[in-house]
Amino acid sequence: MKKRSYGMWVGIAILGLLTLAALIAPWLTGYDPTSQDLVNALGKPSVHHLLGTDDLGRDVLTRILYGARVDLLVGFLAVLFPFIFGTALGLIAGWFGGWFDALLMRIVDITIAFPFYVLAIAFSLVFGAGPKSIVITITLVGWVAYCRIVRASVLVVKELDYVHAAQLSGLPTRRILSRHIFPNVISQAITFSMSDIVLSILAIVTLSFLGLGVSAPTAEWGAMIQEGQAYILQEWWVPFIPGFMVVIVAYSLSLIGDGIVKRFVK
């Protein structure tokens, strides 16, 4: 009997609860995430405001829940798109080789040569602020990892006997790619995406913290940390709570990722 990975279920439970809470946020809280109440600004946690209020009197719990909507959705999309583009390009480059492969791999090398945030900041300046541009930015930088992983696996798998046999039996190329290559190279990309989604959420928070991501007054954790940092000595919970949420989400995603890796890599 294999040792069960409880960690993965803990991760799934935390993330599931948070996702559910984000989805039903309007029913969980009576406050609006952007409406200000300057009289009650920087209030301590109380019965009315469970996690207190920020500098503009907005309910922190409400903003955390609405912020989760942005961060989780953007985090998911910012892994999904790089996954799709990187995998498709890696399949084509690995299978056909030639000049396309050579060109693509040089682009990958160049992209990897830059520190991630340097490129991300440059792109977000080009595309402007907002969730959409964050997804575009991370996609433009993030596809290279998937492309490399998939291409390397394709190079191995395409020399395996069953692929040779499929080629010799005269199957069309797209069938060989979809049925014989793709299912046998994708597990590594999936495994990687699990750790990538953690980094992707951190990237969104970081970009927003730097003022390049989601802009005010939209609720978003990175922006909330940035807005709250001035009060860290007195009203510490204002920047602390969104920061803590980032840690919780990153940790539960790591747990899920580790669990999946354990299942794939026996």
Smallest distance from other proteins to CB 180, Å = 5
Of 61-69, 78-86, 161-169, 221-229, the window that binds other proteins (rule: CB under 8 A) is 161-169
Site for other proteins in 176-235 (CB under 8 A): 179-180, 183-184
Report if residue 160 touches other proteins, rule: CB under 8 A: yes
Cβ proximity to other proteins, 98 vs 115, nearer residue: 98
Smallest distance from other proteins to CB 257, Å = 22
Residue choice 47, 159, 234, 265 for contact with other proteins (CB under 8 A): 159
Q: Residue 77: which H helix or E strand, with range? A: helix 60-96
The DSSP call for residue 56 is T
Contacts of 42 (CB under 8 A, 6+ apart): 52, 53, 54, 55, 57, 231, 234, 235, 238
* Tokens coding 114: 């830059």
Cβ proximity to other proteins, 51 vs 176, nearer residue: 176
Distant-in-sequence contacts of 80-85, Cβ < 8 A, 24+ apart: 81/135, 81/138, 81/139, 81/142, 81/143, 82/138, 82/139, 82/141, 82/142, 82/143, 82/145, 82/146, 82/196, 83/146, 83/189, 83/193, 85/139, 85/143, 85/146, 85/147
Site for other proteins in 72-101 (CB under 8 A): 97
The DSSP call for residue 212 is S
Residue choice 161, 233, 265, 266 for contact with other proteins (CB under 8 A): 161
Report if residue 166 touches other proteins, rule: CB under 8 A: yes
Smallest distance from other proteins to CB 194, Å = 20
Cβ proximity to other proteins, 41 vs 186, nearer residue: 186
Count Cα atoms within 13 angstroms, Cβ side, for 32.
Answer: 6
Within 158-236, where are the H helices?
A: 161-168, 173-175, 182-209, 221-228
Residue choice 171, 190, 210, 232 for contact with other proteins (CB under 8 A): 171
Of 172-180, 195-203, 210-218, 224-232, the window that binds other proteins (rule: CB under 8 A) is 172-180
Report if residue 47 touches other proteins, rule: CB under 8 A: no
Report if residue 115 touches other proteins, rule: CB under 8 A: no
Cβ atoms of 86 and 56 within 8 Å: the answer is no
Binding site for other proteins (CB under 8 A): 97, 159-162, 164-172, 175, 179-180, 183-184
